[in-house]
Amino acid sequence: MSKEKFRLDGKKAIVTGASRGIGQALAIALAEAGADVAICGRKAEALEETAGQIKSLGRDVIALPCHVGKSDQIRAFLDQIYEKWDFVDILVNNAATNPIFGPTLNAEEWAFDKIMATNLKGPFVLCLEVGKKMLKAKKGSIINVSSVAGITPGMGLGVYSVSKAGLIMLTKVLASEWGSAGVRVNCVAPGVIKTKFSQAIWSNDVFLDEVTKTTPLCRIGECDEIGGSVVFLASDAASFITGQTIVIDGGGRM
C-alpha cells in the first residue's frame, strides 16, 4: 500500500474540544498529515496554542469559540467555517465533559443534562449538520471520540459512561445509514490518558495502581498516542472501514 493513502493533503477537518489534551493532539496530528483544521473550544484564548502549532506546520487553521452543548453555537461555528471552506472532509467529535464523580445514585438531573448535551447531543447535531454536506458530496469521514467507559462502566463515571456508550451506538447507526452514500463513521475509545480531564484518576496512587496492574502495557496512555488511529480512520487507507470502534487502552479491554 502506498504511504500516500495515509496522507490528508488538501483535506479540511474539524476537531472539537481542541484547546488541550486529546483534542489538541488530534488537531495537530491531522495537520501533520496534511489537513487544514478548524478547531473549537469554549474560550477563544485557550485555542491560541493549538492554532499556533497548526500554523507552524504550514496549514490553514480556523479557531473559534463554541460550546458544543449548545446547538445555536454549533450552527454559528459551522456557518463561519463554510464561509471560508466549501467542504469539510473530516469531522472529529472530541469535546466532552464530566462535572461529577461518584455513585450514579447521587447524580442530579442538571449533571445528567449537561453531560448528555455536550457528550452526545452535541456530536449528534454536528454529525447531522456536517453529514448533510458529506452525503450530498458522497464522501467524508466522521470520527467520534468515545471512551472505554462507554464499553465497560467506569468507576464513579456512571452518567459519563452512558453518554459515551450512546456515542458508540450513534456511530453504528450513522455508519449503517450513510455507508451507501460513501460517508464513513467510526469511533475511537481511549482508556486512561494523561490529561487534565483524567487527573482525578492518574494523580491518585490507588486508582493509578489499579489501572496499570490490569493493563498489559502496564501504564496509562499519552495524548499523542490517539492521533495515529484518528488519522488512519480519516484517510483513504481506511476506505473500507465504517461503524467500528478502535479501543486504545494498552490492552485492558482485550
Catalytic residues: 160
Q: Cα–Cα distance between 244 and 184 in angstroms, integer?
A: 10
Beta strand spans in 136-220 (E)? 140-145, 183-190
Cβ-Cβ contacts under 8 Å for 243 (sequence gap 6 or more): 171, 172, 175, 176, 179, 185, 186
Task: Report residue 215 CA to chain centroid gap.
Answer: 23
C-alpha cell at 111: 449533571
Q: Decide: 201 and 192 in contact? Cβ < 8 Å.
A: yes
State how far the alpha carbon of 176 is from the alpha carbons of 12, 171, 172, 186, 210, in Å: 24, 9, 6, 11, 37
Q: Side by side, which strands form the sheet with 140-145?
A: 61-65, 36-41, 12-16, 90-93, 140-145, 183-190, 245-248
Q: Cα–Cα distance between 201 and 11 in angstroms, integer?
A: 36
b/e map 40-66, b = 16+ CB within 10 Å: bbbeeeebeebbebbeebebebbbbbb
Name the DSSP letter for residue 145. Answer: E
